[in-house]
Amino acid sequence: MIGRRTFLAGTGAVLLAAPRTAEGQPQRTWRIGWLAAGVRLPQSLAQYEVFREELRQRGYVPGQNILYEDRWAEGHFDRLPDLATELVRWNADLIVAAGGTPAALAAKKVTTNVPIVVVSATLPVETSLVASLARPGGNVTGVTFDAGSGETSKRLQLFREVLPRGASVVGIVNLAFPGMTIYWNEALQVAKQLGMEMDTVDTRSSNADIVGIIGQRRVGGLYIVLDQVVAAQGRRIIEVATERRWPTMFAGTVGKGFVEAGGLMAYSPSQDELFRKAAVYVDKILKGAKPADLPMEQPTRFEFVINIKTAKALGLTIPPLLLLQADQVIQ
């Protein structure tokens, strides 16, 4: 409510009372740390803005009752513990692990007191990030990226619809990412069930030479799994794929952005939904909820995006039924 003016006798000074909450207590300014494992790509910055806008809608106004401090590891996961420590020293009231499991694990190692909200966590139970999805049990909760083998199967089925019959697929993936080996073995098994031949390019450095690593492999299409390391090379991958007329399918929360930048297709959980949900968790915790008691959520909304302009450049005709399934068609 509006603060009342208090006149100080003998000074003529006028003070405004501090803003107060519904409970009559002075309103505090919350300090939110943003710990990102990746680089400042346009797609990543857009996610940050979706998160902040959701909090604005819930009454958190930068400079008035909330402050943000961000740290970016630029794809170098070994930097995450030091960056998390910096946010703790900044006296963050809460840390958002925007880089998924690696960022959340790093933050968890340096603090057991500061609440951590993770976005797009991979295998949070298997990596000991939380005790269970239903009852996380520590200072970490948030949104997972896990949606089961059905998501992988759907993605590969969609991709198969645009590939030449019998085309070999090369998967670009960072197997050092926590839990990725499990995901990738699942993808290989699904591909086999669908009658697709899929080779693996393991990319563990954001400075890797994708063209050199692919080498002389037969390539009918590229299946790109976007963690922070692979995403740092996304534009280069698109350039090479366009030059060599390779169809691309992106998996990951920033996949849509890479299709907008010239990739062919993406099928993944809605990035906006995940980051809005993260903001909901932050709101609940700032209002007194404990991370240990807030169940982690799995994605419920998926987006299938096709770039028709890219398809034409590749000489591909997208089947009409496939276009009808798309949530967004980029002309």
User: Is residue 308 located within the same domain as residue 227?
Assistant: yes
What confidence tens digit (pLDDT) does each residue in 157-178 have? 999 999 988 889 999 999 988 8
Helix (H) or strand (E) holding 144: strand 140-144
User: Is residue 22 located within the same domain as residue 70?
Assistant: yes
CATH code (residue 258): 3.40.50.2300
Query: Mean pLDDT across the stretch 121-135?
Result: 93
Nearest residue to 217 (alpha-carbon basis) of 206, 201, 203: 201
User: Is residue 184 located within the same domain as residue 44?
Assistant: no
User: Is residue 256 located within the same domain as residue 280?
Assistant: no
Q: Report how far residue 228's alpha carbon sits from residue 114's, in angstroms, rounded to the nearest whole number.
A: 24
User: Is residue 10 located within the same domain as residue 129?
Assistant: yes
pLDDT confidence of 275, banded at 50, 70, 90? very high
pLDDT of residue 215: 79
User: Is residue 163 located within the same domain as residue 240?
Assistant: yes
SS3 210: helix
Helix (H) or strand (E) holding 31: strand 30-36
User: Is residue 134 located within the same domain as residue 279?
Assistant: yes
Match 């998501």 to its residue by tokens.
151
- What are 325-331's contacts with CB under 8 Å, separation 24+? 325/158, 327/303, 328/256, 328/303, 328/304, 329/305, 330/259, 330/260, 330/305, 330/306
- Percent of the chain at pLDDT exceeding 90: 65
User: Is residue 113 located within the same domain as residue 83?
Assistant: yes
Domain hosting 153: range is: 149-268+303-330
Q: How many structural domains comprise the chain? A: 2
